[in-house]
Amino acid sequence: MVDETCKVLEHEDIGAGYRSLALAAPAICAEAQPGQFVHVKVPALEPSALRRPFSIFNADAASGRLELLYKTVGRGTLALNAVKPGDAVNVMGPLGHGFPTTCAGAPLLVGGGFGVAPLYFLARMLKASGAEPKLFVGGRTKADLLALDRFAELGVEVFTATNDGSAGVQGLVTDPLDDEMIRLKGEGKAFELFACGPDPMLKAVALRATGSGSKGWISMDRHMICGVGACYACIQKTVRGNSRCCIEGPIFRAEDLVW
């Protein structure tokens, strides 16, 4: 883990309250694993204000380019909107435990909203290991389906679902996921599930993993303060008792989670 002052390379509005932020962060990129997160000090907030945690959307060790994808939801993310290319932003990371980057069966990645953020880096690493990940992404509406062009560039097959039917199937992301799980089971093929998104979606995916006897890797999003294990703000209940999301997580095995 390093504490790095990073130059802002790009900061773009990608619609519907989402933004992408690219930073020069060679030291963080050199260590980053998919599923880990960074803790960003937002420049316009007072020094005592807390950092904000964001998943690593992409970390390119060769160029040192770190990419984040975030939704503006409150004071910290609103203040972060103001940073411009050339500004300096202090970032701590990479933090927490990430996803495994090899997979025994077919990797099925499931995301919702900004939950696709750690799944892009994961898909890139899985592809590099020779696996063929598929992405299942859901949202209320088409505007919540983020970074689909980036997944397409990687050659990842994408299945979409929206509540209002504005893109993909009308319904939940678990609808196309169930179809694929049934297809793979029918062909006697193994799969593993990797998920990040809102809690109800994570629970649904975790239960599918345990119910089908497959491995499931779930990224838990808990409110964080210190990000390094000291404050116990980010507790997640597990079969082994309380775990800190920032240290033992944010990626947990599906069978370890207590809902």
Ligand X SMILES: Cc1cc2nc3c(=O)[nH]c(=O)nc-3n(C[C@H](O)[C@H](O)[C@H](O)COP(=O)(O)OP(=O)(O)OC[C@H]3O[C@@H](n4cnc5c(N)ncnc54)[C@H](O)[C@@H]3O)c2cc1C
Residue 86 CB, shortest distance to ligand X, in Å, is: 23
Residue (42 or 184) nearer to ligand X, CB:
42
Q: How far is CA 85 from the centre of its chain?
A: 24
Residue (55 or 160) nearer to ligand X, CB:
55
User: Does residue number 225 form part of the binding site for ligand FES (CB under 6 A)?
Assistant: yes
**Residue 174 φ/ψ, nearest 5 degrees:** -70, -15
Please report, as residue ranges, which positions from 64 to 103 form the binding site for ligand X (by CB under 6 A).
69-71, 73-77
- Produce one character per residue of 72-103: b if its CB has 16 or more CB atoms within 10 Å, e if not: eeeebbebbeebeeeeebebbbbbbbbbbbeb
Residue 172 CB, shortest distance to ligand X, in Å, is: 19
User: Does residue number 117 form part of the binding site for ligand X (CB under 6 A)?
Assistant: yes
Q: How far is 120 from 34, CA to CA, in rounded Å?
A: 8
- 3-state SS class at 42: coil
User: Does residue number 233 form part of the binding site for ligand FES (CB under 6 A)?
Assistant: yes
Residue 229 CB, shortest distance to ligand X, in Å, is: 13
Residue of 244, 250, 256, 257 that binds ligand FES (CB under 6 A): 244
Do 108 and 53 meet the contact criterion of CB atoms below 8 Å apart? no
User: Does residue number 227 form part of the binding site for ligand FES (CB under 6 A)?
Assistant: yes
**C-alpha atoms less than 13 angstroms from C-alpha of 69 in its C-beta half-sphere:** 22
Q: Which of ligand X, ligand FES, none lies near 252, with the C-beta cut-off 5 to 8 A by kind?
A: none
Residue 180 CB, shortest distance to ligand FES, in Å, is: 34
> Residue 184 is encoded by which pair of tokens?
């793979």
- 3-state SS class at 244: strand
Residue 183, C-beta contacts closer than 8 angstroms, at least 6 positions apart: none
List of residues contacting ligand X (CB under 6 A): 37, 52-55, 69-71, 73-77, 114, 117, 221-224, 250
List of residues contacting ligand FES (CB under 6 A): 224-227, 229-234, 244-246
